[in-house]
Amino acid sequence: MSNQSVTASEKSAVKQVKELKSIHASERQVAVEGEEIHNMIATAAYYRAERHGFDGADAMENWLEAEKEIKAELYH
């Protein structure tokens, strides 16, 4: 995460991921599926864009990096 301050929403998202990490790996995939994981990735991508000041950075790059981060936290 960058040196900028972490918002309450970001803290909430991190807390949610930490709670999910406490679930056994085989149960996690069932716990986070479809729309829920999509929403988590969308939220993370939004915060990545926000940190860049919505400067027109590549939205797809934000999405792919967010997806990689969320999946790494959930499944590893």
Whether 29 maps to a domain, the answer reads no
pLDDT computed for residue 1 by the predictor = 43
Residue 46, domain extent: 35-76
Whether 15 is covered by a domain: the verdict is no
Check residues 29 and 57 and name the one with the higher pLDDT: 57
Looking at per-residue pLDDT, the higher value among 75 and 58 belongs to 58
Residue 8 lies in a domain: no
Q: For residue 76, which of 2, 30, 17, 12 has the smallest C-alpha distance?
A: 17
Residue with tokens 């969308």: 42
Residue 10 forms part of a structural domain: no
Report the alpha-carbon distance of residue 38 to residue 25 in Å, rounded: 19
**pLDDT above 70 coverage of the chain, percent:** 71
Domain count within the chain? 1
Q: Which two tokens stand for residue 57?
A: 């950075």
Residues in CB range of 26: below 8 A, 6 or more apart: none
- Mean pLDDT for the stretch of residues 12-40: 71
Whether residue 18 has pLDDT greater than 60: yes
The pLDDT > 90 percentage for the chain reads 24
Arithmetic mean of pLDDT over the chain:
78
Q: What is the pLDDT of residue 56?
A: 76
